[in-house]
Amino acid sequence: MLQALLDDVMTTVHAASERHALDLCLRETGTVVQVGGGIARIKGLPGATAEELLRFRGGMLGVAINLEPDEIGVMLLGDSDKLSAGIEVSGTGREADTPIGEGLLGRVIDATGRLLDHGKPLRFSERWPVERPAPAIIERAPVTVPLETGIKAIDALIPIGRGQRELIVGDRQTGKTSVAVDTIINQRDKEVVCIYCAIGQRGTAVARVVDTLRRHEALDNTIVIVASDEDPPGLRFITPYAAMTMAEYFMEKGRDALIVYDDLTRHARAYRELSLLLRRPPGREAYPGDIFYIHSRLLERATHLSAARGGGSLTALPIIETQAQDISAYIPTNLISITDGQVYLSPTLFHKGLLPAIDVGKSVSRVGGKTQYPALRAVAGDLRLAYAQFEELETFARFATRLDEDTRRTIEHGRRVREVLKQSEHQPLRASKQIAGLKAVNAGLFDDLPLDQVAAAEVAVQERMSRELPELCERMEAGRKLDDEAWRQVLEMARDAIIGLRGQSRA
């Protein structure tokens, strides 16, 4: 009894002394000795800890990242023009953190919670640190549920699972953002919460994405977190971690979240800028030695949690920009080895108008295949084979003057497969529609149509599928296998749709 009382008293004393230490630490101040380029060097504050959030007089925040014996290097989270030498700075006793919660959905904010959409004040009750440990292996589960992008070429040939990390990589202006934004749009009726994290982009580009999401009714389900090219490198650097924290909130509630990083090339540059300013030794391509760790510790946090941890998932789609299609450059190879596959966008295909410009041969998904709907998998196998054969033959056929009948048919079939894999942006398709169109092209139903009528025929097949075979659609999207009789029904419906279309065009 006495011991328990004593323990109690000791705990109280202990807590009080800790609070006292914290107060002391809060009162301790340092001064800015140099500032510029988004970095400040300060003297004093011997009690500052690594990654501690510091507050400058006037309210600006910074993060202590270089602790040296007589100086601290601070990355600023605001405009360095507002600081000058001599300004006082104090520790806050906390790490850099970010607001979390449902109230962030539909909003455009920065990593510190500053509003960028001029709407009503942000509602949130908690802030979580931007750097959090990734779940341990034992807390993770294999991916089991597809993350549907609504893009035929991806869902059929490079399927992604919830909890997977899939890189989107390609030169500039090849449709990288479009693929990611379409994937977000496709989640609007799927209860997958989305986070679009823009790093180092022009304000107009971000505004365009926000506008697209709003027009397609996907914004209410999305948090847009932005560090633009005009923001200091410190803010650009912590933004992806803050975005990850916001997404983790949903994952830990047992929900599914999707996060898009647009793009990590610019994130790597922000870190390089910071490191060079802090005079850290430059390594390959002038990046600091820990650039790999910077990205791996970020993406390690995306996973599918085990049932014991609530079963939530966090899918990550980081984007990387390549120069002159060089996917073997430093940052792209780093990211390729950290992720579970990549969607490669080719400028050659883009210029030929084959959109989305996904190069199926250079793209891969290492884990999502297991989550693909069986009905989609059934049509995808034939598709891949027909397409690969066609690509080889098409190159060869350019040099041949006369082709035998078999080769000609394979090429004509391949052209129609390629036509069916085209898709306009912001028009994601539900799985059953994709399956119906792909089944029809595989069965050669479009082979006798002129090439310019294939798209219309495909739409006719898709529409009729939804209208006439809703029960089969449900079965496909519930992840059940279709028997021969069901496939026969699909093909019959497709034939009728094409005949109907021909009748219309004749009339």
Q: Which is nearer to Mg ion, 177 or 212 (CB)?
A: 177
Q: Which lies closer to ligand ATP via its Cβ, residue 180 or residue 445?
A: 180
In whole angstroms, give the CA distance from residue 466 to residue 473. 7
Query: Does residue number 177 form part of the binding site for Mg ion (CB under 5 A)?
Result: yes
175 binds, among ligand ATP, Mg ion, none (CB under 5 to 8 A by kind): ligand ATP
Active site residue 366: yes
Binding to ligand ATP (CB under 6 A) within 156-185 occurs at 170, 172-178
Q: Is the separation of the CB atoms in 180 and 262 below 8 Å?
A: yes
By residue count, the chain amounts to 507
- Write out the two tokens for 238: 């912590």
Of 276, 290, 278, give the one whose Cα is nearest residue 64: 278
| Residue 423, binding choice from Mg ion, ligand ATP, none, Cβ under 5 to 8 Å by partner class | ligand ATP
Compare residues 117 and 425 and give the one whose CB is closer to ligand ATP.
425
- Site residue total, ligand ATP (CB under 6 A): 14
Binding partner selected for residue 221 from ligand ATP, Mg ion, none, CB under the kind-specific 5 to 8 Å limit: none
Q: How far is the C-alpha of 393 from the C-alpha of 411, rounded, in Å?
A: 7
Whole-angstrom Cα distance, residue 202 to residue 461? 41
In the complex, minimum distance from the CB of residue 80 to Mg ion, in angstroms, rounded to a whole number: 27
Comparison of 264 and 498: residue with beta carbon closer to ligand ATP: 264
Nearest distance from residue 150's CB to Mg ion, in Å? 18
322 contributes a contact to Mg ion by CB under 5 A: no
Of 97, 155, 166, 321, the one binding ligand ATP by CB under 6 A: 321
Backbone torsions φ then ψ of 188, nearest 5 degrees:
-60, -30
174 binding partner (options Mg ion, ligand ATP, none; Cβ < 5 to 8 Å by kind): ligand ATP
Q: Are 303 and 163 in contact (CB under 8 A)?
A: yes
Report the alpha-carbon distance of residue 478 to residue 471 in Å, rounded. 11
C-alpha to C-alpha distance for 208 and 195, rounded to whole angstroms: 16
* Residue 117 touches which of Mg ion, ligand ATP, none (Cβ within 5-8 Å per kind): none
Q: Which is nearer to ligand ATP, 112 or 212 (CB)?
A: 212
DSSP string, 195-225: EEEEEEE-HHHHHHHHHHHHHTT-GGGEEEE
Alpha helix locations (H) across 67-175?
152-157
Query: Among 156, 226, 338, 355, which residue interacts with ligand ATP (rule: CB under 6 A)?
Result: 355
- Counting contacts by CB under 5 A, is residue 186 touching Mg ion? no
Choice among 57, 127, 132, 366 that is catalytic: 366
Shortest distance (Å) from residue 41 CB to ligand ATP = 34
- For every residue of 333-372, DSSP letters joined together read HHHHHHSSEEEEE-HHHHHTT-SS-B-GGG-EESSGGGGS
Residue 130: name the closest of 283, 277, 281, 248 by CA: 248
Decide: is 242 part of the binding site for ligand ATP (CB under 6 A): no
Q: Which of 337, 424, 466, 504 binds ligand ATP (CB under 6 A)?
A: 424
Which parts of 183-222 interact with ligand ATP (CB under 6 A)? none
Q: Least Å distance between CB 176 and Mg ion?
A: 5
To the nearest whole angstrom, how small is the minimum distance from the Cβ of residue 255 to ligand ATP?
27
User: Rule CB under 6 A: which of 101-160 touch ligand ATP?
Assistant: none
Residue with tokens 């994130």, as numbered in its chain: 267
323 binds ligand ATP (CB under 6 A): no
Over its C-alpha atoms, the chain yields an Rg (Å, rounded) of 27
Q: Which stretch binds ligand ATP (CB under 6 A): 157-165, 216-224, 305-313, 417-425?
A: 417-425
Find, among 412, 369, 366, 422, the residue nearest to 389 by Cα.
412
CB of 321 to Mg ion, least distance (A): 8
Nearest to 435 by CA among 476, 384, 471, 468: 476
Q: Does 183 bind Mg ion (CB under 5 A)?
A: no
> What is the Cα–Cα distance from 378 to 375, expressed in whole angstroms?
5
Provide the minimum distance between the beta carbon of 280 and ligand ATP in the complex, in angstroms, as a whole number. 29
Which residue number, 177 or 221, has a Cβ lying nearer to Mg ion?
177
Of 288 and 356, which CB lies nearer to ligand ATP in the complex structure?
356
Give the nearer residue to Mg ion in terms of CB position, either 425 or 468: 425
Select the residue interacting with ligand ATP from 423, 434, 442, 462 (CB under 6 A).
Answer: 423
Q: How far is the CB of 189 from ligand ATP (least distance, A)?
A: 21
| Residue placing its CB nearer to ligand ATP in the complex, 252 or 262 | 262
Which strands sit side by side in the sheet containing 364-365, from one edge to the other? 108-109, 222-228, 192-201, 256-262, 313-321, 167-170, 341-345, 364-365
Distance (Å) of CA 389 to CA 324, 397, 414, 442: 27, 12, 8, 13
Give catalytic residues, as residue numbers: 366
For ligand ATP, the binding residues (CB under 6 A) are 170, 172-178, 321, 355-356, 423-425
Binding site for Mg ion (CB under 5 A): 177
